[in-house]
Structure 1
Amino acid sequence: MSELQSNEAIVPHFHGVTMFQLFIAGSGTIGNRGQQLKPLTVQFKDHHTAYGPITAGPQGLAFVALRMHTGNSEPIYLDKPGYRDHLKPSKRRNLTSEQVSFSIEPVMQARTEAAWESLLEGDDGMSARIVRLGAGMSAKGPDPSIAGGYYVFVGNGSLVHDNEELPKWSMVVVENSESGFTIQAGGQGLEALVLQYPLEAAG
């Protein structure tokens, strides 16, 4: 998790691993065109793919980086000499979702059917979706083996896992070598992000 102070900026850079980033609090912009970042915005980027700058607004900006494996995750900044020496072939995707809206508790809790909504989609198994479940409901997660595994991130309500109720901003990782995963809502319901990596990101 990174926290930027008011108007603080991170210059354009890239990492050696594929990752999702979730902008969960505060506000800011990304890229030279100043795309708005508001809670909750999802970003996907392939390894060795430059992005930025990221600039915090007056209230600061908090975001979480999610990777399936650590690998060479050190940032390589484009304003430093020799950055091209670190580049490797990549699909060079840098995708940012629209702002995700969450339900108020009575609406979430009273839901009677599972609802899946697509946020980002790729042709290699990569996807970012939100699943909305009412109180005590469950839904089968994606088959982990079809791509690079996925994270389940609690955006609203709670997730029941191993007899524990996990609150907002908790997460569970499901690696592509694991069996299927059941997404189980707590007593107030659940709205969770399901962030699936392309197969090559499994490491």
Structure 2
Amino acid sequence: MTSVVTHEQARNERHHYRLPNGTDTWISSYVGINSVERRAKGLPSRTPESFPPPLEPIAFLVEQGANSMIPGHYHQADQFQVFISGEGKFGIKPIEGLTVHYAMAFTPYAPIHADSTGVEYYTLRNGWDPGARWMPEHREALKGRTKSYRHGLGAIPALIGDADGPSHIEGVLAQTVVPAEEDGLMSTLFQTSGIAAITGPAPASGRGQYWLVLRGQCQINQQQATERSLIFVAPNEPAPTISAGKEGVAILCMQFPKRENA
């Protein structure tokens, strides 16, 4: 099981990357070494893995510059994205509040537009990806894969401490963000307003989980986890032990689907 990584620790590995269309991004590494960090450190490039790629958590925070656009594209690994600040559009849909986007490997999704504030979002993968495959240039590589297309957006409910969020919670409030599917894909927001133990789905029911603290703080496997802390749990590991303190916590669980031959 990976250790808890805090926002402050991730910022120590923050690197600038300018996309081919001129959009400026800044990438802060949480788990693993992503393709941007590899380039920044002069490490040799990595080729795509066979699908599904071996289990390998890669997680980072993207800061997308103001008044910019990331064109439509797809990746060769399953991923979640969590939009946490800023305004813009995901395709034609406005980015409003906290939002989860999931995209299965080889599933094209719409451009990401950032308004004058820029946007920040986490990208969370459970396997290696060599980088975006831009559309329509890489359309040919998708032939025969259309049956596996799957992606969608899920709004994250209001958090404790928000004006429209819960003020007092008895025990633990579990709220669905991405409905659970037979292959294990799901995302649930867990919230407490005081001391409580949080239990999520069994890791073996999917192909890896990320837990992201959105508000407050807690202990995860006896490690301190503050706001924007992150941890990855592999499917062959026990469920994490999560204990909220007296001020409560809002923590998001995102689980990847199982894959054949994985």
TM-score in terms of structure 2 length: 0.69
Q: Offset of 1:49 from its aligned partner?
A: 0.3
Residue 135 of structure 1: aligned partner: 194
Q: Distance in 2 between matches of 1:176 and 1:148?
A: 5
Distance verdict in 2 for CA 1:196–1:37, change over 3 Å: same
Cα contact 2:72–2:108 (8 A) shared by 1: yes
SS at match of 2:259: helix
1:118-161 deviations in Å (ceiling 9; x for gaps): 11123321001101123221122211111112111101111212
- Matched letter for residue 84 of structure 1: E
Residue 64 of structure 2: aligned partner: 4
Comparing 45-54 with 134-143, greater Cα deviation is found at 134-143
Q: Distance in 2 between matches of 1:60 and 1:3?
A: 7
Residue 230 of structure 2: aligned partner: 171
Q: Distance in 2 between matches of 1:37 and 1:123?
A: 28
Q: Offset of 1:165 from its aligned partner?
A: 2.3
- Matched letter for residue 177 of structure 2: L
Distance verdict in 2 for CA 1:105–1:99, change over 3 Å: closer
Cα contact 1:15–1:75 (8 A) shared by 2: yes
Q: Does 1:98 align with 2:158?
A: no
Q: Distance in 2 between matches of 1:57 and 1:162?
A: 39
**What 5-or-longer segments of structure 1 have no aligned partner?**
none
Q: Distance in 2 between matches of 1:189 and 1:125?
A: 27
- Matched letter for residue 184 of structure 1: S
Distance verdict in 2 for CA 1:42–1:105, change over 3 Å: closer
Distance verdict in 2 for CA 1:26–1:15, change over 3 Å: same
- Matched letter for residue 44 of structure 1: Y
Aligned mate of 1:186, from 237, 245, 248: 245
Residue 53 of structure 1: aligned partner: 111
Q: Distance in 2 between matches of 1:170 and 1:4?
A: 20
SS at match of 1:22: strand
TM-score in terms of structure 1 length: 0.88
1:4-37 deviations in Å (ceiling 9; x for gaps): 1112000000000001000011111111xx1111
What is the percentage of aligned positions where both structures have the same residue?
22
Cα contact 1:46–1:92 (8 A) shared by 2: yes
Residue 29 of structure 2: aligned partner: none
SS at match of 1:199: coil
Q: Offset of 1:164 from its aligned partner?
A: 3.2
Deviating beyond 4 angstroms after TM superposition, the runs of 4 or more aligned structure 1 residues are 105-110
Question: How do 1:66-105 and structure 2 match up within 5 A?
Answer: 66-70=124-128, 72-80=129-137, 82-85=138-141, 89=145, 91-104=148-161
Comparing 162-171 with 125-134, greater Cα deviation is found at 162-171
Question: How do 1:119-130 and structure 2 match up within 5 A?
Answer: 119-121=177-179, 122-130=181-189
Q: Does 1:13 align with 2:63?
A: no
Comparing 125-134 with 90-99, greater Cα deviation is found at 90-99
Q: Distance in 1 between matches of 2:126 and 2:188?
A: 17
- Matched letter for residue 79 of structure 2: M
Q: CA RMSD in A?
A: 2.3
| Number of residue-to-residue matches in the alignment | 199
Residue 43 of structure 1: aligned partner: 101
Distance verdict in 2 for CA 1:85–1:91, change over 3 Å: closer
